[in-house]
A and B are shown apart, each in its own frame.
Chain A
Amino acid sequence: MFGLASPRRLREMGIVGMNKRNAIYIAQNNPRKLYPLVDDKLKTKLAAREHGIAVPRLLGVCRIQHHVRELAAFLGALPGFCIKPAQGSGGKGILVITGRDGEHFLKPSGALVRQEEVDRHVSNTMSGLHSLGGRSDVAIIEELIEFSEDFNGYSAEGVPDVRVIVFQGYPVMAMVRLSTHASDGKANLHQGAVGVGIDIATGRALNAVQHDRPISHHPDTGRDLSQLVIPRWQEVLAIAARSYEVTGLGYLGADVVLDRNRGPLLLELNARPGLAIQIANGEGLEPRLHFAWLQHQANARSVQDRVDIAMDQMMKQNF
């Protein structure tokens, strides 16, 4: 009625609302002192690497303004790269260079970028222009991700990523976020990216949503979203499950990208993952979270065991 769901129906479906996520899942499972690790992409990357998780290769880090002078010589040898602030949010301050045109750099759109502009971008990033609260920051220079052809036609401009919600180390729910023209190439759902729920057992698409409303085809390319299958699904889940050991966060969102050559790579981690994933899956999180909690209480298990249990049990008909 009035475009509102009945609270009873939502409770029956086990939908987790904002208050419950904040007061129970985040507040009770994610100690604040663990946040800096996930809020800083460089720290996340280094910690993940230590745990043997594949990440986009780190080419260099600009820590002090002095480094900017050496930038031209350093970048000159690279065919393509990506510069991002370690503490940026919402895709802000990310500069993607895919090639060169003589003296100048090329953006994916084909626009030319001069060396001075790159230098200034890095300099601004370090002074905190793109960071949360304007804190001084470091600029990360990363290898470019060449996304797997399995996603051809599923994404308009940017790199699609897989978001997996991990509770106490168990992957509980997943979706792919596909950028659209409306989202300006970004994979953020509230900016208009498409979310496609993924079956934990198989890596196959379930439902798709844009702006919290169900859709069936990609709005820009017109491809049927139900045909989407994530390759090397078990590896994706293993990376997500292992981030629990990396961070210690009980409730987290792991963002994984699929590189054509290197396979699944951990892009970043999120201590406050959003709830739209429930709409993309057509299912509430609560029963799965409860199941994961019981498993966690019962036994300490290895990453592989947790992934196996999840793939075996985390499916719609079980709840």
Chain B
Amino acid sequence: MKHRQAQRQIRVIVALLLTLGIGTVWYKYTVLGFPLLASETQDVWRLEARLSFTALGGPVTARLNMPDPIDTLRPVFSTSLATAYDFRIERSAEREEAVWTRPDAPPGPEEVTLYTELFFADLPGYSYLPPSGVPSESGTVDQAILNTVSDYVSQRELDGAALVSFVLRELNNPVSELWLLLQRDSANASERLQLAIDILAGQAIAAMSVAGVELKDRQRNRPPKRILMVYLDEVWQGFDPGAALALDNNRFLPMQQGGESIFEVSGGEDSNLQISVVRTQRASFLNAVENARQGSSWLIDFSIYSLPVDQQSTFKLLLLIPLGALVVVILRNIVGIRTSGTFMPILIALTFLQTSLFAGLVLFLAVVSLGLLMRSYLSQLNLLLVPRIASVLVFVIIIYAAIGIASHKLGLRWGMAVTFFPMIILAWTIERMSILWDEEGAREVLVQGSGSLLTACIAYLLMANKMVADTVFLYPEALLIVLAVIIGIGSYSGYRLSDLRRFAPMERY
């Protein structure tokens, strides 16, 4: 039989679609770091870097180093909060800088602010990538002294992070033996940092001083923090020199290293940088999309996310329609519910999305029952088909207007939502139900009418679920899975639930 061949083809198509759909979802989930559910959230850091200075009068140029590239760091966006200044971001091979310029700044205090949102992708193998190589020793300490210090440190037989912590702790302790060996009394913070770099170099460990922002929630107006970055086990690890402990790299945002300046103001003096940090939550998938776009994955480049935002939201609605179709297919071919018009319930469900369920149901019942009343009168006139439906359509519009005006007068705001109903579809529904009434009786109208509404309600509940909507938007490839299920059901020749009920009396035989 040809049937066998068709069945085999269907199985192949379904398997292909499932593989493709599940495969792409899996790829996005594991490789691109998409969250499985759209409801997952992620920390996002909001930074406000405020650069204040006293303008001398005349042209002003202010430069601020942007966060250094880290392979897990994902800036969401950066914008300037400074009126009267031209703002641009300058990119070069080594650095990114925010630049404000103003040709005619009045003398006196001025302020420019960089507002940035960013997050850290939770990728394994994080590493801080300094643009330059390993810095050389500074030579501030005499080589002979350094050798004795080296011996002293080596005696401890420490390595890695423990060694770094030990050195920092010793430097922080004003009465430690180390100061004797260094033949100094003490030093300020930046000198101590330089000493640490020199001592670590003696242990063949590369280190450098880096300035940046510590990411803690609700930090107000702090100056940039300086830390020690140490190259351990082939990754750069930050150390808090004060606490002498390793830092969580995903909680420190490096902005300046080595000889770079963190900010620079020409045409002003007394410049000062203060940074505020706030932690917020954001749907993980937004981050993931951003993330993948920056990684320029072709899957993202040629997806819905490449569209402008307003057009994306149109597709967000369109992507839901296959789910509605799936509900209709399941209810009709597996359950065996009769509906009036195959896809009319989906259109009604889409309308419910705009009117809310309760208002939608009330309005639908009102329009359809008034329409049926009017249509039953038209039956007696024996009008021809097209003029008949056209009259129903006109009447539907009149009902819309009547409901709109009545609800406005009664102060029921949801009544106005009646206009969201597709009137041509409603006119056809009324026409079909009326014919059904004539041919099969009122019972069949009730059966099909309530079947349609039930289908519409289930489709609505599915499509109105924000998590479902976001997840489909996140994984449009899941539609291939939906298609596979629909095709699979299309070749299902088993019993419907309604068959089981209908043939229940057969069990007697």
Chain A contact residues, CB within 8 Å of chain B: 3-7, 9-10, 13, 15, 17-20, 23-24, 28, 89-90, 92, 120, 124, 127-129, 134, 190-191, 207, 209, 212-214, 278-279, 282-284
Find the B residue at minimum CB distance from A22.
B493
- Whether the pair B500, A5 counts as a contact (CB closer than 8 A) is yes
A92 touches B493 (CB 8 A): no
A10 to chain B minimum Cβ distance, whole angstroms, is 6
Select the residue from B499, B503, B508 with max chain A CB neighbours within 10 A.
B503
Interface status of B509 (Cβ within 8 A of chain A)? yes
Q: CB distance A13 to B496 under 8 Å?
A: no
- Closest CB in chain B relative to A31 CB, distance in Å: 12
Contact A134 to B439, CB < 8 A, known contacts A10-B499, A214-B505? no
Q: Does A18 contact B336, Cβ atoms closer than 8 Å?
A: yes
Q: Is A283 a contact partner of B509 (Cβ separation < 8 A)?
A: yes
Given contacts A3-B501, A28-B2, contact A282 B494 (CB under 8 A): no
- Known contacts A23-B491, A128-B385; decide if A5 and B498 are in contact (CB<8 Å): no
**A90-B439, A92-B438 are contacts. A279–B495 as well, Cβ < 8 Å?**
no
B506 — which chain A residues lie within 8 A by C-beta? 5, 10, 13, 15, 278-279, 282, 284
In the assembled complex, which residues on chain A have CB atoms less than 8 Å from the CB atom of B507?
Answer: 5-6, 9
How far apart are A134's CB and chain B's nearest CB, in angstroms?
A: 3
B508-A214 in contact (CB<8A): yes
Given contacts A5-B500, A28-B2, A129-B382, contact A19 B505 (CB under 8 A): no
What would 23 A/B residue contacts be, using CB atoms closer than 8 Å?
Answer: A4-B500, A5-B506, A6-B500, A6-B507, A7-B494, A7-B495, A10-B506, A13-B509, A17-B494, A18-B336, A19-B496, A23-B490, A92-B438, A129-B382, A129-B384, A134-B385, A190-B440, A212-B505, A214-B505, A278-B503, A278-B506, A279-B502, A279-B505
Q: Could you say which residues of chain B place their CB within 8 Å of the CB of A283?
A: 509
Let me know if A19 and B333 touch, CB within 8 A: yes
Q: Report yes or no: A7 in contact with B505, Cβ–Cβ below 8 A.
A: no
Instruction: Kindly state the separation between the CA atoms of A3 and B384 in the bound complex, as whole angstroms.
Output: 44
What residues of chain A lie closer than 8 Å to B501, measured between beta carbons?
3-5
For A316, the closest partner residue in chain B by CB is B509
Does B315 make an interface contact (CB < 8 A)?
A: no
Known contacts A19-B494, A19-B495: A4-B440 contact under CB 8 Å:
no
Give the complex CA separation of A16 and B375 in angstroms: 38
Q: How far is the CB of B486 from chain A (nearest CB, A)?
A: 14
A93, chain B: closest CB distance, angstroms: 10
Q: When A10-B506, A18-B496, A24-B3 are in contact, do A90 and B491 touch as well, CB less than 8 Å?
A: no
Question: Which residue of B438, B441, B493 is within 8 Å of A23 (Cβ)?
Answer: B493
The complex places the Cα of A28 from the Cα of B2 at a distance, in Å, of 8
Residue among B2, B441, B505 making CB contact with A209, cutoff 8 Å:
B505
* Closest beta carbon of chain A to B100's beta carbon, Å: 70
Tell me the nearest residue of chain B to A23, going by C-beta. Answer: B493
Most A Cβ at <10 Å: residue of B386, B491, B495, B496:
B495
**Is B497 interfacial (CB-CB < 8 Å)?**
yes
Query: Quick one: which of B439, B498, B505 contacts A18, CB cutoff 8 A?
Result: B498
Residues of B454-505 whose CB lies within 8 A of A: 490-505
Q: A7 and B500 in contact (CB under 8 A), knowing A20-B493, A23-B491?
A: yes
Chain A hits for B382, CB < 8 A: 120, 124, 129
Q: Are B384 and A92 touching (Cβ within 8 A)?
A: no
In the complex, A134 Cα to B382 Cα: how many Å? 12
CA–CA, A3 and B503, complex, Å:
10
Q: Is B204's beta carbon under 8 Å from chain A?
A: no
Residues of B within 8 A of A129 (CB): 382, 384-385
- Bound: A283/B503 CA distance, A: 10
Q: How far is the CA of A265 from the CA of B474 in the complex (A)?
A: 64
Q: A18-B496, A28-B2, A283-B509 are in contact. Are A4 and B384 (CB under 8 A)?
A: no
Cβ-defined partner of A15 (8 Å) among B438, B491, B492, B503: B503
**B503 — which chain A residues lie within 8 A by C-beta?**
5, 10, 15, 17, 278-279
User: In the complex, which residues of chain B have a beta carbon less than 8 angstroms from the beta carbon of A127?
Assistant: 384
Extra inter-chain contacts (16) besides given A127-B384, A214-B508, CB under 8 Å: A5-B500, A5-B506, A5-B507, A7-B500, A13-B509, A15-B506, A17-B494, A17-B495, A19-B496, A28-B2, A28-B3, A92-B438, A129-B385, A191-B440, A209-B505, A278-B503
Residue B31 lies at the interface, judged by CB distance under 8 Å to chain A: no
